[in-house]
Amino acid sequence: MSVHDQLELAFTFHWNTHADANLADFDAAVAVHVRGVLAGMKHAARVMATQGSGSIINVASINGSRAGLGGHYYSAAKAAVIHLTRCAAVELGEKGIRVNSLSPGPIATGIFGKGAGLASDEADQKVEVAEAAIATVLPRWQPLPIVGSVDDIAQAALFLASDASRLISGHNLVVDGGISSGWPVSVTREDIGRFQMAFQTSGSK
């Protein structure tokens, strides 16, 4: 609660193939990433509706709108978060409550180290390892040559929480350095060159 005893902001926050699908693991992912978000909105909305204002920010992911970059369970759950956000926005808007989602791209945090097998504490303490790992694939994935940090996400969240975004609701704010827009032009130019070369090679036979 703020010093004014009002809840003005609620900020709500796993990788598999179809052939190896484990329904228990899928259910667990949905429970964490979707049910958890719904529960957070449920309780926040009660307070915000009474005061007639508030901003709810649900953490989604670019995996929720672009396939192939994350696991099936996680990606499906995050897609659900994005649409659940829209549904909540149209329901709660008349009560003065804004609801948006925030979709980070690859952000240098300990989660990548943990996924690679590092001990939890070590992964969290050595974020630079994650940053270096992301930097190795960034040139082929992301147009902007910048490794995202938690500060980038924090700044986006502050915008959605502030009056500067007072007319924004039901929006999925993507913070991914342009990944969702498409591959870097240097990558596509190289691939187009290979494509054209295939015709020249075929024609010379």
pLDDT (tens digit per residue) in 107-135: 999 888 888 888 999 988 989 998 999 99
64-86 pLDDT, tens digit per residue, is 999 888 889 999 999 999 999 99
pLDDT of residue 203: 63
Q: Domains of the chain: which residue ranges?
A: 9-106+142-203
Query: What's the pLDDT at 3?
Result: 47
As a whole number of Å, the end-to-end CA separation of the chain is 74
Q: Note the pLDDT of residue 18.
A: 60
Q: What confidence category does residue 1 fall into, taking pLDDT thresholds of 50, 70 and 90?
A: very low
Alpha-helix residue ranges (DSSP H) falling in the chain: 23-30, 36-51, 72-92, 110-115, 120-125, 127-141, 150-161, 185-203
CB contact set of 188 (below 8 Å; sequence gap of 6+) = 182
The whole-chain average pLDDT of the chain stands at 90
pLDDT of residue 123: 87
Measured at the CA of 11, the angle between CA 9 and CA 13, to 5 degrees, comes to 175
- Identify the CA nearest to 99 among candidates 151, 158, 160, 147: 160
Q: In this predicted model, which residue has the larger pLDDT, 192 or 151?
A: 151
What is the structure's pLDDT at 91? 97
Active-site residue set:
74
Structure letter (DSSP) for residue 64: G
pLDDT of residue 81: 98
Task: Spell out the CATH class of 9-106+142-203.
Answer: alpha beta
In this prediction, residues 173-188 reach a mean pLDDT of 93
